[in-house]
Structure formats: C-alpha cells, structure tokens
Amino acid sequence: MQWLYGLYRNKLGGVLADDMGLGKTVQIASFLEALYDNEEVKRVLIVVPLTLKAYWAKELEKWCPSAP
C-alpha cells in the first residue's frame, strides 16, 4: 500500500503484476477504498478485459464499498 500511495502522491505510474491468485485485485480495491475514505478521489477508471469486468465489479463491491 505504501508503494501504491507513493506512486499516487508523486503522480507516477506503476505496474502491479505477479502470478494469478496473489491478491492484486484486493490490493488495488483496498487502496482505492482508502483514497475514497480520505476523499482524495471521487472516481477512477479501471481498464480490464471484458471477460474480467464482472469479476472486478464483484470484488470492488466487496473490498471497496465506498466507491460510487
């Protein structure tokens, strides 16, 4: 989370990549939840393949309930 926030704070991009099943989606959703809770963002754009859209929507509802 500290790495993600450092990227955000310094307006840098980054790639969070690893093998499947290691929690990247949860990390991003939790990070977004913190940004929403602290009112640092009002909306975000998440680009995923169409085949993963429903999965991401479900995970964001679970881990990032503050999202609009």
Q: What pLDDT score does 66 carry? A: 80
In a domain, 22, yes or no: yes
Number of domains observed in the structure of the chain: 1
In a domain, 50, yes or no: yes
Higher pLDDT, residue 9 or 21: 9
Q: What's the token pair of residue 18?
A: 């690893």
As a whole number, the mean pLDDT across the chain is: 88
Across 20-33, average pLDDT: 87
In a domain, 19, yes or no: yes
First to last CA, the chain: 21
User: Backbone phi, then psi, for 27, in 5-degree steps?
Assistant: -60, -45
In a domain, 28, yes or no: yes
Predicted confidence band at 47 (pLDDT cuts at 50, 70, 90)?
A: confident
How far apart CA 6 and CA 20 sit, in angstroms, is 24
In a domain, 51, yes or no: yes
In a domain, 68, yes or no: no
Range of the domain at 28: 2-63
In a domain, 41, yes or no: yes
